[in-house]
Amino acid sequence: MSERKWVYTFHEVEEAEEHVGGDWNEVRALLGGKGANLAEMTRIGIPVPPGFTVTTEACNAYLAAGDKFPENMWEQELEALKATEEETGKVFGDPKNPLLLSCRSGAVQSMPGMMDTVLNIGLNDVTVEGMAELTQNKHFAYDSYRRLIQMFGGVVLGIPDEAFEDVLDEYKEEKGVALDNELDAEDLKKLAAEFKAIVKEHKGFDFPDDPFEQLRMATDAVFGSWNVKRAIDYRNAAGIPHDLGTAVNVMTMVFGNMGQTSGTGVAFTRNPSTGEKKLWGEYLLNAQGEDVVAGIRNVAEIQHLAGDMPEVYEEFSGIAERLEKHYREVQDVEFTVERGKLWMLQTRNGKRTAKAAVTIAVDLANEGLISKEEAVSRVAPGQVDTLLHPQFVLEAKQEAQKAGKRFATGVNASPGAAVGRVYFDAATAESKAKDEGQDVIMVRPFTKPDDVSGMLAAQGVLTSEGGATSHAAVVARQFGIPCVVGASAMKINLEKKQLTANGITVKEGDYISVDGTSGEAFVGEIESIAPTLEEQTELLELLGWADEISAAEGIRDVPEGWPTRGLQVWANADYPDDARRARTYGAQGIGLCRTEHMFFEAERLPIVQKMILAETSEERTAALDKLLPYQRDDFDGLFEAMTGLPVIVRLIDPPLHEFMPDEHELLEAVIENRLKDAVEEDKEALLVSVQAMHESNPMMGLRGVRLSVVMPEIVSMQVRAIFEAAADVKLRGFDPHPEVMIPLTGHINELHFIQPKLEEIAAEVMEEKGVEFAYKFGTMIEIPRAGLTADQIAETAEFFSFGTNDLTQFTFGYSRDDAERNFLVKYVEEGILPENPFQTIDRDGVGSLMDITVKKGRSARVELEVGICGEHGGDPSSIEWCHLIGLNYVSCSPFRVPVARLAAAQAAMEHRG
């Protein structure tokens, strides 16, 4: 067996391709995203400092062996180092002409800031002098040296940053300077000596003088950092598998801090907030990369580089354009200029806001760089959701401004409006949000990887430091959390848990409002509104493409007679306004109109209660006769709004006691009355009635079709109202398509009992009105038994609609009302459930039952219309499952329709049959 190759120089991208069989994704898996791109840039002639990559395979071998380098790896690393020495003409550890290296992690998927980096490897008390000589810049040499010791001490040896920072701060104070680079060479030399003493003090051994030992330990630390807690947490949050491992990229150091002809910067080839096609980024002269990323010093816009270094800027612009064309995607690049020479240190696909993602995808497609299908596949459905997130009501915000409630402005790092209570640390923010269900805004001077869990639980993030590429900004954009950074007017007192800014003090737990779109922060709660879709032309264009993809016939490889196109997206809407919005958002039907909401309106509820308490069928019918016109009016508007499209109306579903006064409150009132000898007969009687309706487990009680079997008068009224309304609408020249849905069916005989009675009413009404139109009768599938006997049920039902909320309840035996509080949160935390099954369809259990249902149902009625109207209908993973099992449509809230349209198209592309 030939020797395993663990290390590839940046010139060996072909060898890497050969090793994995030519697949670029596999090259990325092997070399990590950063390493693969460094090699790829080298291949296409872009200036990259020489270096090499130790593979993820090596990392996994290292982890599997219990943190030991695999055989020959180190030897190969030394060989690659030799090649780098030859390319650069420098020698690692040479006192005169020392080669310095950076050592960075590079996972397959970028995990910003979470893996460890060490710069200036190769410096020691001897080589630092050589470096000073060589560069004629002692200040630079010793600054690099003290940085090495500090970073090495921190990330390789695990010494707290404060240990070094405190000494640095003392020095600066002593010297009366504000910035690190105001210290002189001698200061820095002393500082390096002190830093080495700190290492000795903390670790009990000396800082390693041997450059090779430095490299070995750094490589080891990068590998080890794959499994530190914050990396695991991030992967959990981002859904990245834990077995990928990280590569190690070792690269010749180039220096942006060698005076005013040097500099460093980061940039996006297009604006990552808006998607605008214009270079977007920032740089610093005479600085190293971490100064930019950390957001500590004030940076300049990338365009200013054209003034500072015109040739470099031109070269850089050209490289940016080449990279975008090469990768057919917006690039996020890092560069350094060393004494006028441009070096590209990294390129990767740029993270972006939802808005930018849509704009860029549509622009790239329209520019011909990618296809429409690729454009549709490049926007995550969750991103579209953020575009429909609320924004502050303009007047409300203006009023808050006038009232002096704006306490800070900063960088508009991630758009959207957020309102919540302030917490100053991740742990509190997370627990307040998760345990108490509070809306939370996390406020920090700046954020670090440790803060991610708190950010993910927050509605919004506000920092006093950092810029648009700071940690807080990058993470917030990725997860769609409204975020303002660098609001420098804020003085944050972490001890007292309060901030002051512009004379306003905000304490822990106070409400603030953060506008991530404008970069403002306000005390108090500001009203927000949902944005209108109509303004978002790129999104409309993208969703149009998505619909075309979904509507294409022949997408699915399904049994004869099943739908072969992708999913339609319908909406759940109870009122005409909802229906109109749903139509605007692209809904192709109403999948669920809940009629009982109509019962709760103030003028109707007393009639409803009278109907419920009726002792004879006549009394009940009399009350229902009064409700009929109300219901008819509701349906009239709905059918008109949805002319030409199907509208599924669900007959009454909840148990009747939901329409009655609360039993507990009534009981307390009655007992009080009794003890006061102030008995109210009406209340006593009402209590008896309400108690008689009490159920131990109402979720499994007298509701849905069961209610209709016991008390058919209500649904008789409802069906009459539906058909009278449809007839009226038809007579006015519209095209109604009513579909009557019977809820909670568990046994075919329930439909046998009630459906003929209702169909008779439908026929009666059409005869009375002298008009005909198509209609359907069908049922929800919410009861496991209905799914298990779907072949029987489909003989009578013309359509199925999965009520996955209830179906999940019964299939799991979880009561939604109680489960979250009692055990479900713990179940998700402990990983007992991979996700909350009420949010994402549990494919193994509920999903497999759905699959059985569709197959059985269509075995009895091949043209059976099957959809889903539970809350899962707007969840991308659940939508994918609906596509996989052959549903006709998903139905979700109007606001989720755009998300669902995109998710449906992506599912169709992903699983083309």
Q: Which residues are catalytic?
A: 471, 869
Q: Which is nearer to a second copy, 263 or 784 (CB)?
A: 784
Residue among 298 and 696 whose Cβ is closer to a second copy: 696
Establish if 333 lies at the interface with a second copy (CB under 8 A): no
Rounded to the nearest whole angstrom, what is the least distance from the CB of residue 716 to a second copy in the complex?
17
Contact call for residue 675 and a second copy (CB under 8 A): yes
Q: Is 501 one of the binding residues for a second copy (CB under 8 A)?
A: no
Half-sphere exposure of 152 (CA within 13 A, CB side): 33
Q: Interface with a second copy includes 613 (CB under 8 A)?
A: no
Question: Token pair 């309304």 is at which residue?
Answer: 725
**Distances in whole angstroms, Cα of residue 185 to Cα of each of 97, 192, 261, 262:** 20, 10, 20, 19
With binding defined as CB under 8 A, does residue 826 bind a second copy? Answer: yes
Residues in binding contact with a second copy, number by CB under 8 A: 57
Amino acid type, 557: D
**CA neighbours within 13 Å on the CB side: how many for 680?**
12
Q: How far is the CB of 694 from a second copy (least distance, A)?
A: 9
- Our CB check for a second copy shows the closer of 732 and 785 to be 785
Least separation in angstroms between CB 664 and a second copy:
8
In the complex, minimum distance from the CB of residue 842 to a second copy, in angstroms, rounded to a whole number:
7
Q: Does 809 bind a second copy (CB under 8 A)?
A: yes
Nearer to a second copy, 17 or 663 (CB): 663
**Between 25 and 749, CB nearer to a second copy:** 749
Q: Which string of b and e fits 278-310 if b means at least 16 CB within 10 Å?
A: ebbbbbbbbbbbebbbbbbeebbebeebeeebe
Binding of residue 679 to a second copy (CB under 8 A) = no
Q: Which amino acid is at 174?
A: E
775, 762 Cβ separation under 8 angstroms? yes
Q: What's the DSSP call for residue 905?
A: H
With CB under 8 A as the contact rule, which of the stretches 33-41, 563-571, 664-672, 871-879 interacts with a second copy?
Answer: 664-672
**The two structure tokens encoding residue 536:** 């978002």
Window contacting a second copy (CB under 8 A); options: 77-85, 188-196, 758-766, 841-849: 841-849
Q: Which of 65, 494, 667, 688 binds a second copy (CB under 8 A)?
A: 667
Contact pick of 565, 747, 769, 776 for a second copy (by CB under 8 A):
747
Shortest distance (Å) from residue 695 CB to a second copy: 4
**From 65, 427, 605, 671, residue interacting with a second copy (rule: CB under 8 A):** 671
767 interacts with a second copy by CB under 8 A? no
Phi, psi of 500 (to 5 degrees): -130, 145
Among 278, 309, 246, smallest CA distance to 103 is for 246
Position among 672, 764, 772, 863 found at the interface with a second copy (CB under 8 A)? 672
Q: Please state the closest distance from residue 783 (CB atom) to a second copy, in A.
A: 4
Binding of a second copy by 813 (CB under 8 A): yes
Cβ atoms 331, 320 nearer than 8 A: yes
Binding of residue 256 to a second copy (CB under 8 A): no
**CB 908, CB 549: distance < 8 Å:** yes
Considering the complex, what minimum distance in angstroms separates the CB of residue 804 from a second copy? 13
Rule CB under 8 A: say whether 795 interacts with a second copy: no
* Site track for a second copy across 683-722, x = CB under 8 A: ------------xxxxxxxx---x--xx------------
Interacting residues of 659 by C-beta distance below 8 A, sequence separation 6+: 599, 600, 605, 608, 609, 612
Close Cβ partners of 460 (under 8 Å, ≥ 6 residues apart): 416, 418, 419, 420, 441, 442, 481, 482, 483, 484, 514, 516
Using CB under 8 A as the binding rule, whether residue 615 contacts a second copy is answered as no
Rg (CA), the chain: 33
163 binds a second copy (CB under 8 A): no
Nearest to 247, CA basis, from 7, 502, 534, 523: 7
Both tokens of 212, joined, read: 């090779």
Residue 601 to residue 613: CA distance in whole angstroms: 18
Q: Residue 869's closest CA among 910, 900, 908?
A: 900
Measured from the CB atom, the residue of 547 and 782 that comes closer to a second copy is 782
- Give the tokens for residue 661: 């006064």
Of residues 733 and 831, the one with the C-beta less far from a second copy: 831
- Beta pairing partners, 392: 528
Among 224, 784, 874, 876, binds a second copy (CB under 8 A): 784
Nearer to a second copy, 227 or 822 (CB): 822
Enumerate helices (H) and strands (E) in the chain, giving the number of each.
Answer: 37, 33
Per CB under 8 A, 782 contacts a second copy: yes
Q: Which stretch binds a second copy (CB under 8 A): 230-238, 326-334, 392-400, 788-796?
A: 788-796
* 752 or 912: CB nearest a second copy: 752
Tokens representing 359? 């704009």
Instruction: Provide, rounded to whole angstroms, the least separation between the CB of residue 848 and a second copy.
Output: 5
Rounded to a whole number of angstroms, the minimum distance from the CB of residue 744 to a second copy is: 7
Q: Is 789 in the site for a second copy (CB under 8 A)?
A: yes
The position carrying tokens 């003409």 is 89
**Closer by beta carbon to a second copy, 211 or else 746:** 746
Structure tokens at 850: 């759905």
Check: CB of residue 833 under 8 Å from CB of residue 824.
yes
Is residue 268 involved in binding a second copy (CB under 8 A)? no
CA distances from 543 to 314, 869, 904 (A): 37, 21, 10
8 vs 814, which CB is nearer to a second copy?
Answer: 814
* Angle, alpha carbons 100-246-35 (nearest 5°): 55
Give, rounded to a whole angstrom, the gap between the first and last alpha carbons of the chain. 41
Tokens of 302: 């990338």
Least spacing, CB of residue 839 vs a second copy, in Å:
16
Residues across the chain: 913
With CB under 8 A as the contact rule, the residue among 306, 628, 771, 833 that binds a second copy is 833
Here's the x/- map for a second copy, 846-875, by CB under 8 A: it reads as x-xx--------------------------
Number of alpha carbons in the 13 Å side-chain half-sphere of residue 29: 16
Nearer to a second copy, 731 or 832 (CB): 832
Residue 817 binding a second copy, by CB under 8 A = yes
Give the range of 97-105, 398-406, 725-733, 827-835 binding a second copy by CB under 8 A.
827-835
580 binds a second copy (CB under 8 A): no
User: How far is the C-alpha of 679 from the C-alpha of 684, rounded, in Å?
Assistant: 8
818 lines the binding site for a second copy (CB under 8 A) = yes
Q: How far is the CB of 683 from a second copy (least distance, A)?
A: 15
Q: Is 436 in the site for a second copy (CB under 8 A)?
A: no
Contacts of residue 854, defined as CB under 8 A and 6 or more positions apart, other chains included, come to 790, 800, 866, 885, 886, 887
Give the residue ranges of DSSP H helices in 698-795.
705-710, 713-731, 748-769, 784-788, 790-794
Q: Choose among 719, 722, 703, 725: nearest CA to 758.
A: 719
Cβ closest to a second copy, residue 281 vs residue 837 = 837
Judged by CB under 8 A, the residue of 177, 489, 788, 884 near a second copy is: 788
Give the shortest CB-834-to-a second copy separation in angstroms: 8
- The minimum distance between CB 766 and a second copy, in angstroms, equals 28
Looking up tokens 């994918």, which residue turns up?
Answer: 880
| Residue 734: DSSP 8-state | -
Could you list the residues that contact a second copy (CB under 8 A)?
Answer: 664, 667-668, 671-672, 675-676, 695-702, 706, 709-710, 744, 746-747, 749-750, 752-753, 782-785, 788-789, 792, 806, 809-815, 817-819, 822-823, 826-827, 830-833, 842, 844-846, 848-849
